[in-house]
Amino acid sequence: MSEHIDVFEMARQQLAIAARYLDLDDGLHQVLASPQKTLIVNFPVVLDDGSVKVFEGYRVQHNSSRGPTKGGVRFHPDVDVRETSALAMWMTWKCAVANIPYGGAKGSVKVDRKQLSRRELEKLTRRYATEINIMLGERSDIPAPDIGTDAQVMAWIMDTISMQQGHTVPGIVTGKPIALGGSEGRTEATGRGVVTVMEEAAKIRNLNLSDARVVVQGFGNVGSTAAKLAEEAGAKVVGISDALGGIYNPKGLPIQELFNRYSGRDGGIREYKDADPVSNTDLLELPCDILVPAAIAAQITKENADRIQAKIIVEGANGPCTPDADRIFDDKGVFVVPDILANSGGVVVSYFEWVQDLQNFFWEENEVNNKLTKIMRNSFASVEQTMRSHKTDMRTAALIIGVRRVADATVTRGIFP
């Protein structure tokens, strides 16, 4: 479904909507519509069989007006420079909505990590980190995990940069293992934030989470944590999926058990027998109250938005709904909690990790979770208030806040020289 959708164009359309509300000056609009720096690298890796393969990777910094740029690294066969630029732009707005002092960035490598051995993955990671090192720095650009990367990949990036600098630089990446200066609560942070805003959205729609049926697309870091915490909050998770397909049981799925057995293993959940198999497309259209797309972009478009039955959509993934789908949801009265608000828990705790690394002073998990919940609730409340005052939807409201903060910082700093 995603093949015909240019997600960078989609991100620019969203910016244009916010620009109209903010009556943004044309020049400023142009500044915000383009990434500040883009690096494309082609680099070789010697595979286990001795052959050499060249991989293409990117690092895009969208805007650094509010601070160092921050953004995940994605290893996925379908990435390209336009998608990476869209993801970098969304990071800028996301950090601004959460009001943390970062701009947005994103990195990616066109690779199917499942085709690589662990040794090959490590070599690819270290070479990619070396190639993009000219962009990175704990005060300039800080990567984190995204699709296809995890704490181990972050550890290799941190070690590679540390070797090149001659001393350990823990603040160069976030989402690291705890033993290397990672933060308590980082792994679950995005899913935890998703469920916090889910609770807030449910209150607005007079829905009790303990009566709610939830469907989650994606059973990776974000999807599995969101499903687990939704279950803990009393919701009935009736459908989940991974890249190979999903399962559905209207009576509810045992998420904690599925998490223990299958999390992080593509195809695993289909082995669970007490449920009906369902395709990823059909999963989105299942009867439910709350839908959490937590996999990849452009899953909900004008082709299927009409058939979505959920009353609330909480975007765990980046860019799962296209602007055409947004218009359909607006007409249908579906309440969409947009990605730049809903999945900001990850970058919020990444920010906490970075602060802890720079100070060499580490916090307890409770402290991290409480601070995260507070920021998520405050962000939700200010987006909801902006939605009401501008009589618009939650995505436009979040963009109004995010774009305004970045525009103000850009204007106040002034255009150099």
* Least Cβ distance, residue 138 to ligand NAD (angstroms): 19
User: Which listed range, 7-15, 206-214, 219-227, 376-384, lies at the site for ligand NAD (CB under 6 A)?
Assistant: 219-227
* Least Cβ distance, residue 2 to ligand NAD (angstroms): 8
User: Which listed range, 31-39, 49-57, 121-129, 145-153, lies at the site for ligand NAD (CB under 6 A)?
Assistant: 145-153
Q: Does 219 bind ligand NAD (CB under 6 A)?
A: yes
Query: How many of the chain's residues bind ligand NAD (CB under 6 A)?
Result: 25
* Least Cβ distance, residue 386 to ligand NAD (angstroms): 22
37, 53, 70, 106: which is the annotated catalytic residue?
A: 106
Q: Does 316 bind ligand NAD (CB under 6 A)?
A: yes
Q: Which is nearer to ligand NAD, 173 or 407 (CB)?
A: 173
Among 57, 71, 104, 145, binds ligand NAD (CB under 6 A): 145
Q: Does 125 bind ligand NAD (CB under 6 A)?
A: no
Task: Quote the Cα angle for 88-8-141, to 5°.
Answer: 15
Q: Does 343 bind ligand NAD (CB under 6 A)?
A: yes
Q: Does 379 bind ligand NAD (CB under 6 A)?
A: no
- Site residues for ligand NAD, 71-100, by CB under 6 A, read none
Among 15, 105, 129, 147, binds ligand NAD (CB under 6 A): 147
Q: Pull the structure tokens for residue 260.
A: 């223990």
Query: Would you call 236 a catalytic residue per the annotation?
Result: no
Q: Does 295 bind ligand NAD (CB under 6 A)?
A: yes
Q: Does 69 bind ligand NAD (CB under 6 A)?
A: no
Q: Does 301 bind ligand NAD (CB under 6 A)?
A: no
Q: Which is nearer to ligand NAD, 169 or 284 (CB)?
A: 284
Q: Which is nearer to ligand NAD, 24 or 222 (CB)?
A: 222
Instruction: Please identify every residue annotated as catalytic.
Output: 106
Q: Which residues bind ligand NAD (CB under 6 A)?
A: 145-148, 190, 217-223, 241-243, 266, 280, 294-296, 316-318, 343, 346
